[in-house]
Each structure stands twice: as C-alpha cells, then as structure tokens.
Amino acid sequence: MSRLGRLVPRRRAALLLVCAAGAVAGAGAWYLWPTSAPVPVWAADYEVTARPPEALAPGTVVGTGPPDGWSHLVIKSLPRVRPGTEAQVPPLARSQTVRMTRWMFTAFAADVRPETRGAETRYHLRAIGLGLGTSVGGRDVVVTPETAAAHGVRLDWITRQILTKGYQTQRLAVVVVQSPTFAVLDTPVWFRCGEANKLIRYRYALLVDAPTGRLDVVLWPLEAGGCFAAPPAVRMSPNAIDPAELVPDPKGFDALGIASDSTFGVDRLPTPSTPVSLPGDLRPLAEQTRFTPDEARALEAALRDVVKLRE
C-alpha cells in the first residue's frame, strides 16, 4: 500500500475523533447552557389579573356580623354628615340633604371556607363581596335599583340616583391579587384633602390563617398625596361598623343646593381599627397597582410580619 493510502485511513480516523469530540463538547455545552428557572409551585396560587369582586346578593341582610353565605363582615359603613358641620350645607336643601346622606349603607364581606384532606383541615379565601343597601323594616338590606321594589323599598328620583351613583362608584372596586390565603382589594372613596374632596382608593389586604381560618385585614390609602401628613395604615377590627362621618365641601353645591359626587368626603380611615406601621421599604411594593406572583407573595409575607408585630 502506498504512503498516501496508509495516511488516508489515519486522517479519516483522526477526523472522526475530532468530530466525536466536537459532538461531546456540543452536548456538554447544551447541558451546561442556562435554562429558564422552573416556575415555583406556589406561583399558580396567586391570581394577579385584576377583576371585580363578587356582589352581595340583593335581599342579603347585613347586621353587626357576617351576612348569610359569608364567614366575615369586614366593614359596614353608615355614612352621615358629621355633627356640627350641617351649617355648611345650603339652607334651601339642608334638611333633606342631611337625611339622604344616611339613607344608604355600604357592606364589605369575605368568605373563608374550611377544606379537609385526610386528617388535616385548612382554610382558604373563597371570595370577597361588596354591596349597597338601605333600611327595610328596621333591618339593613342589600338592594339594587332593579331589585329595590321586590325587597320593599320604594325608590323616588332622589333615592334612585343615590343608589345608582353608589353602584357606579362601587363598580370601580378591583380585586388586584387573590390566593387561597391572601387578597388585595382596591375600593374608591371620596376623601377630604385640604379644602376639597378627592377620589382616592382604600387598599384592603386580607390575610387568612390557613390552620385556624382567622382573617386579618390591613388597610392603607393609595393616590392620597396631600391628604395625610404621613402615609397611614390600620388593622381593621372584626365586624367593623364605621360611622363614616362625611365632611361637606360648600363649593360642591349648585345654586339650588344640590350636591355633586364630590361634595361629601371622609377625613379619616375607617374605625374601629388600630394603627400599624408599614416599613418604608415596603411602601413601593404596597402601592403598586399590578403584581407578579413573586411580588404578591413578597407583599403577603411582609404584611404577615406587620400583623405579628401587633399581636
């Protein structure tokens, strides 16, 4: 065999070794190439697409405790003109205006349910519900403009407007985050800021203790620049019945003494409640309007620490 003939097989063998080495190296490079981090198991627990809360069913009676079908009454607000400020309402319609501010109540309920698997029972947050209503036969009953008559409420033009505008405002409420043990609800409220009333948001964070079903609620305002000397936060008492004293803005009445949407506003956070402190480094996260599952979980963990500090 010629020298060239002997070299060809050797070169082919060497080439095959190089190719094989390249293939192994390529396989190693593919193996070592960074891949996407696996999604945490808990990420699916956090629903971070904003959506409206449930509506309390018309006919629901809201007393001083959880209404039927719900495990917790978070807060029931009973608006009224703050005593001593009635003179700021124009005389022409003062009596009727003061009376009508007390005509409607608002209610916010939560439903925490047990779930038993084997020998273990855990609690989860099923839903959040909002509703408006009025007194019917001495009981506060949820009604809508469409269902009022069926529940014994005869609406005139004024009360129909009150209820209609109330629901228009309440429909701005949004569940920003929800998981089996955590939820964030933003609700609009007219708040006294300086010499005028401003539409801000109350942010309610609901924290369920899975082993016991206990519900803690922390509240702080959003978009409230100029309304507070320092950003406040409170921990709501269970079954809170808030007087919701309204401060009138004299500039909010027209020539006939008729109030506009912004004429009345509250000037304090709901009661009964206890002040809590949100750490400064938590504020940016607490004031976000959109969350990733990671951010929602971080907010939940931080708020649980805030609640523990008050125990």
- Using one digit for the tens of pLDDT, what is the confidence trace for 155-173? 999 999 999 999 999 999 9
Cα 227 to the chain's mean position, in Å?
Answer: 20
Indicate if the pLDDT at residue 29 is higher than 70.
no
Q: Which amino acid is at 187?
A: T
Q: Note whether residue 116 is domain-resident.
A: yes
The answer to whether residues 105 and 131 touch, using CB atoms and an 8 Å cutoff, is no
Cβ atoms of residues 211 and 112 within 8 Å: no
Asked if residue 10 is part of any domain, the answer here is: no
Task: Tell me whether residue 4 is in a domain.
Answer: no
- Does any domain span residue 223? yes
- For residues 130 and 310, the model is more confident at 130
Of 27-31, 128-132, 186-190, 218-222, the poorest mean pLDDT is in 27-31
Residue 37 belongs to some domain of the structure? no
What is each CA distance from 265 to 168, 192, 230, 292, in whole angstroms? 17, 5, 19, 33
Q: 175 lies in a domain?
A: yes
Q: How does residue 26 score in pLDDT terms, banded at 50, 70 and 90?
A: very low
Say how far residue 194 (Cα) sits from the centre of its chain: 26
Q: Which one has a higher pLDDT value, 150 or 45?
A: 150
pLDDT at 117: 87
CB 184 within 8 A of CB 204: yes
Is residue 188 within 8 A of residue 223, CB to CB? The reply is no
Residue 23 belongs to a domain:
no
Q: What's the pLDDT band for 100 if we cut at 50, 70, 90?
A: very high
State the Cα angle at 264 between 261 and 270, rounded to 5°.
115
pLDDT for res 40: 61
Distances (CA, A) of 160 to 103, 145, 149, 199, 219: 11, 6, 11, 22, 30
pLDDT at 230: 85
How many folded domains does the chain comprise? Answer: 1
Is the separation of the CB atoms in 89 and 257 below 8 Å? yes
- Residue 160 backbone zone (phi > 0: left; psi -120 to 50: alpha; other: beta): alpha
Do the domain assignments include residue 29?
A: no
16, two tokens: 């095959």
On the question of pLDDT at 108 being above 50, the answer is yes
- Stretch 177-194: mean pLDDT: 96
- With 80 as the cut, is the pLDDT of residue 2 above it? no
pLDDT at 197: 93
Domain that holds residue 122: 50-309
